[in-house]
Amino acid sequence: MALSSDGIELFLAVVDHGSFSGAARALRRVPSAVSMGIAGIEAELGYRLFDRSRREAVPTPRALALVPHARSVASRLQLLQVHAQELGEDLESALTIAVAAGTDDRRLLDAVAEAGGWHPLLRVNLVRAPHDEVRAMLHDGRADLALLTCSERLDREEALAMVAQDVWVAVASATADTYGLPPGLRRLEDLAASRQIVVAGPGDEITEQRLLVSDARWHVDTVEAALGLVERGAGWANLPLGAVRARVAAGTIRILEFDNLDNGVPMSVQLVWLRRNPLRRAAAELIAFMRPAQHSAPGTRAPGSVRSG
């Protein structure tokens, strides 16, 4: 084949250096080998790539048409070579991260974007699901890492790194009457008579008991769905402060106020993995990037070692 990887390298070297002798020096070959190599490519293509009538090797119009595509292929081949080497250095071919619905994932997205720069051919899968579904995905092998808020339940199989803090607040509609909500609500326990909207799968057992108040609950699988129902007065919900700020500012949702306590449950945001599955290279770098004390500056590479938490 005329334009093999070697042929592309040879072709671009002549284009970039303007002569066979310049290309030969760059490739550490003799000029006659470069000239013969280009002649062989031209013979297979059936047309000239360079005008040899002058001292310099001037690309023909057909050669110039090939240059952008040749550069693209050369760049992809270089990435492929680096990726192939990294796979031999414990880089995973794909990294799947499950994110609990409602969890602040801005730091994760920053880290994933950085990882895309470190390892351009690494495949990253981001999946959002209710909290308990995310934990199930981790334990049955469908996810390598899970980003979720702290649970009261401790699991000896899990290792974790705390990466952020969040606050969950009780909210209700600011424009519609909320089903079962007392007009003169003053105490947290008064919410028990109203319907609570919970972000969870239909059959999920809710492990984060601190967020549960009402016995009557509807389950939805996204924060957006919960916000929509809350706005319409279908029930109240405990949701991350960051997820409700915009609608509070817009006047469609209000943060409830209580006389007996402050409205807000502090929650740590954690990256979790299984102890039985040692972290591979990209996962370890991503966790190291997200740790608050080790957050790398833009454009710097995160360290590749992470201790289990």
- What would the pLDDT profile of 22-66 be if each residue is shown by its tens digit? 888 888 889 888 888 888 888 888 889 998 877 788 889 999 999
Model pLDDT for residues 142-151, shown as the tens digit of each residue: 999 999 887 5
Q: What stretch of H or E contains 24?
A: helix 20-27
Q: What is the pLDDT of residue 306?
A: 37
pTM: 0.59
Helix axes 5-17, 31-45, angle to 10 degrees: 120
Q: Are 250 and 256 in contact (CB under 8 A)?
A: no
CB 10 within 8 A of CB 34: yes
Q: pLDDT tens-digit profile of 277-287?
A: 878 888 888 88
Question: H or E stretch including 31?
Answer: helix 31-45
pLDDT bracket for residue 196 (50, 70, 90) = very high
Cβ neighbours around 152 below 10 Å, total? 8
- End-to-end Cα, the chain, rounded Å: 54
Is the separation of the CB atoms in 27 and 10 below 8 Å?
yes
In one letter, which amino acid is 216? A
Residue 288 pLDDT exceeds 70: yes
What torsion, rounded to 10 degrees, do the Cα atoms 31, 37, 43, 47 define?
-70
Domains and their CATH numbers in the chain: 5-87 (1.10.10.10), 97-304 (3.40.190.290)
